[in-house]
Chain A
Amino acid sequence: MSNGVYDVIIVGAGPAGFGAALYTSRDRLKTLVLEKLMPGGQIINTNRIENYPGIERIDGPSLIQSMQKQVENFDAEIKTGCEVTKLEKLQNGNIAVYCDEENFTARAVILAPGSSYRKLGIPGEDEFRNAGAGVSYCGTCDAPFFKDKQVVAVGGGNTAVEETLHLTKYAAKVTLIHRRDEFRATKVLAEEIRQKANEPNSNLIIKYSTVATAIQGEGKVQSIKLKNVKTNEEEDYPCDGVFIFVGMVPNTDFLKGFVNLTDKGFIRCDCAYLRTSVPGVFVAGDCRIGATMQLATAVADGVVAAMMLKEYFRNPDWWSEPVSDSLAPGGW
């Protein structure tokens, strides 16, 4: 490090960020990882990981703690509670990274900010969520608190179906509402949930073509306002909790105007080298176009970005070259 300039700053301490940091720090590049919350990202909500090659079974926090220790062994620096608010390409080619209270500069940046739960954006959602008073985005996390209670789940994709089935093990009654008249989830899951609803005395009700318009209650969730999109009929539907499973959004608001994003907020890149629209700024993980949102691919992205970064350090003009057959040591 010279004049307080890092070789690389990695934004986000999830699997993608740690994958990148492991490679850059082992290459003796001065590495700083910035994380707005605490290490881990989405994977810490997972209690059972069985699809990471080489590890039969592990929980998210244990895996992340091990990843963190591994990169710290190679002297990568990790700052938590440090939210990046803005980035800027400087005249000399370096990149300035601005946080709430501190600023940093690096020769290159790897963006790995990940994704968050998508919100419905209806009245009551944030209030009850922030108060821990009955709105949740994670069935695996919060289902046990609704034992013998009535809950409403919202969504129609794979996660919505899986999490709703999980809820039926705890709650007295689960109502799944979906805005369309059929599920987006894979056939196997869609069949499973329809079967579950059709069982005699089932505790699961499915309401198709229905949207939620408000979450209501005094101090805690007591009802949800539902609207049938075909008939426009509205009803106040009593419940103790609302579980929202409507997908993920990339955490890229702070990057608007810095790198090119898609309309949905994903970072545009060339998917071979993970270069963004700004020279010296790479991307890795859930937040990029073409992301498969998997633990193993997030780690892999981090590694690719770290390898390609060396190419950029050798020759900054490489950034504008098209994806090449001769980049690998033996060509391909």
Chain B
Amino acid sequence: MEQVKPIEVTDTDFENNVIKSDIPVVVDYWAPWCGPCKMAAPVLEKIAGEYVGKLKVCKLNVDEHRDTAIKYGIMSIPTLHIFKDGQVVGQVTGVTPNYEESLKKKIEPHLG
């Protein structure tokens, strides 16, 4: 399966890229010093490739874009939020067993 690089989002373009998105969005809150985030990244690229056109995968660097991270109550990374119609409809914190499968299970109910 093709791997697709997630879109890097910022405090400034979060509204346009995530909140106003026509399709569901997964936001990966991460930071360069976060080891588990780095290890989880390939799984997200795979998911981005698998659901092209149905799901947008974004990354938000919490060091550089603190305002958004604080607004959404992030206290631990990696955390993923699933957004639909501008609302958080799902969350995954940490890396869990069967990570890829459990992410898909969380995401799929929200796809149109």
Contact = CB atoms under 8 A, between A and B. Distances in A.
B11 interface: no
B75 A134 contact: yes
Interface in A122-175: 129-134, 136, 140-142, 144-146
Task: Output the residue of B40, B62, B77, B97 with the most chain A CB within 10 A.
Answer: B97
Given A44-B38, A61-B39, A36 B97 contact: yes
A45 interface: yes
Nearest to B96: A37
A80 B35 CA distance: 17
Contacts of B85: none
Given A47-B33, A145-B69, A61 B38 contact: yes
Interface string A75-117: 0000011010000000000000000100000000000000000
Given A44-B39, A61-B38, A132-B79, A38 B99 contact: yes
Contact of B75 (A39, A83, A142): A142
Interface in A213-245: 220, 241
A125 B100 CA distance: 25
A327 B79 CA distance: 50
B77 to A, nearest CB: 7
Interface in B42-91: 43, 62-63, 69, 73-77, 79, 91
A291 to B, nearest CB: 21
Contacts of A131: 91, 93
Given A130-B93, A141-B77, A146-B75, A81 B35 contact: no
Contact of A59 (B35, B62, B101): B35
A86 to B, nearest CB: 15
A83 B97 contact: yes
Contacts of B96: 37
A80 B101 CA distance: 11
Nearest to B74: A145
B32 to A, nearest CB: 9
Nearest to A36: B97
Given A36-B97, A81-B97, A132-B94, A64 B76 contact: no
Given A100-B98, A131-B91, A47 B35 contact: yes
A142 B93 CA distance: 12
Contact of A45 (B35, B43, B79): B35
B40 A38 contact: yes
B76 A44 contact: no
Task: Output the residue of A80, A132, A136 with the most chain B CB within 10 A.
Answer: A132
A82 to B, nearest CB: 8
Given A40-B35, A45-B35, A64-B39, A145 B95 contact: no
Given A37-B95, A37-B97, A132-B93, A145 B35 contact: no
A132 B92 CA distance: 8
Contacts of A81: 97-101
B39 A220 contact: no
Nearest to A60: B35
Contacts of A80: 99
A250 B34 CA distance: 23
Interface of A: 36-40, 43-47, 59-61, 64, 80-81, 83, 100, 129-134, 136, 140-142, 144-146, 220, 241
Interface of B: 31, 33-36, 38-40, 43, 62-63, 69, 73-77, 79, 91, 93-101
Closest 6 CB pairs of A and B: A132-B93, A44-B35, A61-B38, A132-B76, A81-B98, A145-B75
16 contacts: A36-B97, A37-B96, A37-B99, A38-B39, A40-B35, A40-B39, A45-B35, A64-B39, A81-B98, A81-B99, A129-B93, A130-B93, A131-B93, A132-B93, A136-B75, A142-B75
